Amino acid sequence: MNPGITRRGILSSAGALGAAAAVGSTLGGTLPAAAAAAYEKGSDKPLIGKARTPDLHVMSFNIRYDREGTQPGQPDYWPERKPLVTAFVELEKPTILGVQEAEFSQLGSLEAGLGPKYRMLGFGRDGGAGGEYSSIFYDASRLEALWWDQFWLSDTPDVIASATWGNSVTRIVTWVRFLDLATGTEFLHVNSHFDHQSENARVRSAEVVRSLIADTGLPAVFTADANANAEASDPYTTLVNDGGLVDTWLAGTQLTPQVGTFPNYGTPNPAGTRIDWVLATPDVTVKSAAINTWTKDGRWPSDHTPVQALVRLP
């Protein structure tokens, strides 16, 4: 990033640069029959699928990194999870997808499922291709990326791999300013993976995201593995209660039962915590939301469940 350009300046001027370059009404609704059947089968029918204009399908998905030392047959074994990740995103075809924990060698599984019309923005948290990605995939036949950036969640956000808030693991934010080619509306997509150990780091990260979204004045969606309990944590309070963002799970028709989003390859727990979020600014209408427990042949694509929302921009 050009050190002479501030992030706020980019956010406020990206629309002009791009041009030169050429809330839901139903709370806790019952499951529609088709969606319920897809959920129960966990197989060949999407819960949301490819969105029709003017709606956008938003997804957050922690795909679990390729952990060394795992063996065939173990739930965590990436070579056996890889085709499931591909099959799942091919089935659901989100318009925009924020991923967490993806390593460079795993990105191809997402690209294969999403198809040639999709693009990816982001790079590894260790710089270049190194480390986990919190990248954003998008349907380039529907959306144009006007500008994007990635920064580190620390006191020195432009310093690669910096971490200063008590977290030992490097954490990043990736954001994209999009133009919806179908409607002419600009909006912001922010994606992140908050720290799993430091509460201070999680709260500071939420404050940064809140400011980033507020600086634009644009409709926005935020996807994340927040490592914090929705409705009952300080990061959630920072973004929703204080920051004015809307929890899409609570704002639209719920297409699935509520379960914790980190089943860790086990049976989803109705009393579990929702640590994976899709949030939106209040001007974004939320039509439906899902916590997707899709499996194939008894296998999970990840230790997290993807979370999804069908939204409409103002």
**pLDDT tens for residues 105-138?**
999 999 999 999 999 999 999 999 999 999 999 9
Distance in angstroms (rounded) separating the CA atoms of residues 96 and 58: 5
Question: What value does the mean pLDDT take over residues 44-62?
Answer: 97
Please name which of 102, 169, 91, 95 lies closest in space to residue 139, comparing C-alpha atoms. Answer: 95
- Which residue type does 209 have? V
How many whole angstroms separate alpha carbon 194 and alpha carbon 200?
A: 11
- Domain boundaries along the sequence of the chain: 7-312
Q: What is the pLDDT of residues 223-282, one digit of tens each?
A: 999 999 999 999 999 999 999 999 999 999 999 999 999 999 999 999 999 999 999 999
Length of the chain in terms of residues written: 314
24 has pLDDT over 50: no
How confident is residue 2, by pLDDT bands cut at 50, 70 and 90? very low
The pLDDT of residue 88 is above 50: yes
pLDDT given for residue 44 in this prediction: 84
Question: What class is the 7-312 domain?
Answer: alpha beta
* CB-CB contact of 121 with 145 (8 Å): yes
| pLDDT value at residue 43 | 61
128 in helix, strand or coil?
coil
User: What pTM was estimated for this model as a whole?
Assistant: 0.89
- Position 292 scores a pLDDT of 98
CB atoms within 10 A of CB 157: 17
